[in-house]
Structure 1
Amino acid sequence: MPKKLFLLLVTILSISCKSDDDSMDLNCAAVFCAAVDDTLYLQFLNPENDDDLLDNGAIDTNLMEIVNEKNQEITFTIEEYPDMGMFLAIPVSKESFRQQSFTIDFEEGDSFTIHLETSFPKGEGCCGPYTTLENFNIDHYSYELVEPSPFPVFSTVYIPNLN
C-alpha cells in the first residue's frame, strides 16, 4: 500500500508542474527526472543464429572506426547490459538538431552508414524536453526498425559473414 500511495503522490506532483515562466515550480522540485542520455546503442547480431558479434569477438572493436558526416572521428564505447548483450554506444550530437550520419568501418572492408534525424521538442512539465529521434535508417545491413522516440535509442543490426 505505501508504494501505491507514493506512486499516486509522484503522479499528482508531476501533473501539477507548470512551465509558464522561467522560474522553477516548487512542485517540480519533488519530481525525479531521468538523466539525459543522448546515445545510440547498437547491438550486432549474426542473422543466422543471433550470436552477439561484439561478445564473441567476430567484430574487433580495436579495429573499428566511426566518423560523422563531417568526417570527424567519433569516440565510442562498448557497454554490456545483463540479459541483453553487448552494445556499441555512440554519442549523438545535440549541438544542433538535424540530420546526422555515422559511418562505421570495421577495418575489414565492411562499413555501413547510419542516417538519423533528431529534434528537440518543446517540453511541458517538470522533466525534459529530451532529444528525440525522428528518423532512423541504416545502409547495407538489415536492422531492427526504430520508431521515433526520445534518446537513448537501442537497435539491433544484423551482420552476416564476419566470422
Structure 2
Amino acid sequence: MVTVSPSQCETSPTWAYALQLPYDARAARIARVTLRAVLAGHGMSQLQDAAELLASELVTNAYRYSDGPAALRLRGLGSDRLRVGVWDTNPDIPPPFDQRSRPMCPVPAEAAGGRGLFLVCHYAQTWGGYPLGDDLFGRGGKLLWCEVGPEPAGRVTAA
C-alpha cells in the first residue's frame, strides 16, 4: 500500500492510498477491509457504508470482466468527500460509464447480476470512467471512479 507522509496529512486535507489487487475472487473483500481502515483512520466513518458498497461493486466488476490484476485508489478530497477509483486490465468502458446520457436499462428481477454499476451511479454524487492507453510497462486498461460525500444543497436523492 502506498501512503502519503504524515507531515503532508497534517498540512493538507487531501490524501491518497493505492492498493494493488491480484486477480483473485477475494479482492473485493480485501478492498472493503482496507477502505474501512482508511476511513476510520481519517475520521470519515460517516462515508463507510456508501463507499464500501461502491468500491466493492467496482472491484467485483474488475474481477468479473478482466483477466488480470486491478488497483484500488482512495483519495480524500477534504474532510468529508472521498473519491474511489478502480483500474483494471480490460479497456472497455461498461455502460452507463461509457455514455452518461444514455438511459440505464432496467435489470429483470430474476437476473443474477447486472445491478452493480446501477448502484454506483445511484449512490455516488459523481462518477466516470476512461480508457488508459498502453504505457511503457504494458498496462493500459481502464479506470472507473466515483465520489461520495454529503449531499449537495438542494439535491434530493430517491430511495
Q: TM-score range by the shorter chain?
A: under 0.3
Higher helix proportion, which one? 2
Higher strand fraction (1 or 2): 1
Structure number, greater radius of gyration: 1
TM-score calculated relative to the size of structure 1: 0.27
